[in-house]
Amino acid sequence: MAEEYKSAKKAGEKAFHQAVLHGQYPYLPALDDILAGEGMLPETPVGTFEIPMELIAGTKTHGRQNAFAVNFMPILAEDSEFAGKWQRLYDSQVAEGIRDPIKVYEYMRRFYVEEGNKRVSCSRFLEAPMIRADVTRILPKRTKEKDNIVYYEFLDFYKVAPTYELEFTEPGSYREFAEKIGRDLTEPWPEDVMKNVLSAYLIFRGIYEEFGGQQLRTTPADALLIYMHVYELYGILTEDRNVIRRRVERLWNEFMTEANEQSTSLVLRPEDAPKPESGIVPRLTSLWKSPKYTEKMPLKVAFLYARDPANSRSAYAHELGRNQLETTFQGLVRTRAYSSCGTEENFMRAVDSAVSAGCDVIFTTSPTMIDDTLRAAIHFPEVKFLNCSINLSRNAVRTYYARMYEAKFLMGALAASLAPNHRIGYRADLPTYGDIANINAFAIGAEMVDPHVEIILKWAPEDPDWLGSMRRMNVSVISGPNLIRPSQESRAYGVYHMAEDGTITSLAAPVLQWGTYYELIVRTILNGTWDARPMVQKDRALSYWYGMSAGVIDVILSDHLPYSSRKLVLTLKNALIADTLNPFEGELHSQKGLIQGPDAPKLPTEEIIRMAWLNDNVNGKFPDYQKLNSDAKKAVKVSGVGEDDGAGVGKTPGSGDENV
């Protein structure tokens, strides 16, 4: 027998024994086994074309399953009839190539061979990257599992860009990739676009794998999309390869973070953050590593606002926090503010100015600034960048937001105690990560006081006459915007009562103490614990999510409230701070059914952040994306949640922004 079969068999035996050692099935998986019990699934002819060898996962039936190890290398004896056929086929492929396409079934982006297993085996041994195949697609049943969602998004992508090369693993990625190159998933992509996209991808993939990307769980396409948050795709075609290599090296921690199943470290309380180490050696190390700030050499901090604080509730609140930060540290910290940074041009101009002025820290105060913040952080690695959002898995940028749902829970209970007809209005901005928890916490707090209460939910960007809609439904107690707008004096914020003549009486309002929040973060820089381990890791993002226990959130109550209502709120507040009560523990019901039973513990923090359902006493639904204005659409793309869809409208989760 020729040496080729012996070498192939040796590779097969090695893969076989490795699989057994790790408790894995050592033979080729059979698609018939995978689909056992699924019933009849639709089959669709796709065509005959080149498919990536790496996506061939097994065989269709049991026929030749045991003749190959899991890597498609042969394992039958060298004197067998099979070995002779394999060797003759190998010699033919080397001399003439493959004349006839193999026949495969595609299921969930993987191919299973019905005819041509030996041709695949020989091609694998020859390290051929592609093989011609006649493809039939088997469509899985639709489910809400992430892999299934991503697969059906791939099918939409394939209709306009017929290639199996790009494999994304997160919901929304195919659409996001298309948008970043100015395309969509409805119109077929021109041939020249496909050629340039695939050329750029293959160049990037080669460099990514030079750095060991195949060892990460992040696919080359996932990594490319991260790259495109900072650099242009088509630049890969014109830039020197060494430039691309340096960029990949700068982004390596981002790729590692994307590959990590626990990609974000959440800091829920200031006391969870590292403390300065005691002892002479740690103290000397801290002095050596961290600059010592003084009034002559203060810590310089910049704040970037998407809009002008005079016209934006959110920016105004952060501006108050900036002023408080300077007052608290009395010369040890100096700040600068930049308004109207909502465009990439204005943002980068502000960052360049802040860096030139010697700023060590830059806070960007809207989740819509996430991509620009990441781009700046990669460009200025010596500067500390933070973005006001939640659950952003970017290693170079820390995120921070507040557990506003705690205040909403208290205000929901208060509102229910004062609503005369079991109806409370709730005006919401956008369905973004973190903010859905606010709605549900309000609804749960309300039903704890009044089991028959109904929360009338209206989205301001979708229904400009949301207040009129509520009044027509005889709603008089309303939860409005969290904050006042500086340019408009009005009592219509927080929870308030509206009389028939339009008179507004304030009842309660949430308070988000951004100054206290910024003080807590800045102190970690001043005391040298900013980079302390184990909190800071190369393969994780870091996100602060402080609440009432940290003193960053409170509720202001009207002096006109009855004593019993004030006592109710104070009792619940103390329980929240002591962590003996949480709105998301025990029995929970969405509009579509039971979430968890009466003895269940508090929902995991990540599930609260990524909540994508509405409580069963909420009268309303998620807004129609197409009815939103352009600013709202931008915010939802960054951090939006789709109904009962953990993936949301966009890929990158973040917090809401009341600018819109």
Bridge-based pairing of strands 553-557 and 495-498 is unpaired
Those residues whose C-beta lies under 8 Å from the C-beta of residue 210, and which sit 6 or more positions away, are 245
CB-based contact 113:60 (threshold 8 Å): yes
3-state DSSP of 64-130: CHHHEECCCCECCCCCCHHHHHHHHHHHHHHHHCCCCCEEEEEECCEEEEEECHHHHHHHHHCCCCE
Check residue 650 and give its pLDDT.
36
Give me the half-sphere count of Cα atoms (radius 13 Å) on the Cβ side of residue 468.
Answer: 3
- Axis-axis angle for helices 117-125, 3-21 (nearest 10): 100
Considering only CA atoms, which of 268, 266, 277 is closest in space to residue 528? 277
Instruction: Provide the residue ranges of all domains of the chain, joining segments of one domain with +.
Output: 1-141, 142-259, 405-512+550-628
**Three-state secondary-structure class, residue 396:** coil
**Three-state secondary-structure class, residue 6:** helix
**Below-70 pLDDT ranges, the chain:** 1, 274-291, 392, 485-491, 533-535, 642-660
Q: Which amino acid appears at position 139 of this protein? A: L
Please state the length of the chain: 660
What residue has token string 């709605």? Answer: 439
Give the Cα separation of 155 and 555 in Å (integer).
Answer: 48
Bridge-based pairing of strands 454-459 and 618-619 is parallel
Check residue 363 and give its pLDDT.
98
Tokens coding 18: 């490795």
Check residue 648 and give its pLDDT.
37
Considering only CA atoms, which of 84, 53, 83, 90 is closest in space to residue 67? 83
Check residue 408 and give its pLDDT.
97
Query: 1-141 has which fold?
Result: 3.90.1530
Q: What is the pTM of this model?
A: 0.84
Q: What is the CATH number of domain 405-512+550-628?
A: 3.40.50.2300
Give the Cα separation of 343 and 307 in Å (integer).
Answer: 10
Those residues whose C-beta lies under 8 Å from the C-beta of residue 206, and which sit 6 or more positions away, are none
Backbone angles phi, psi at 334, to 5 degrees: -120, 140
Check residue 282 and give its pLDDT.
52
Q: Which amino acid appears at position 155 of this protein? A: L
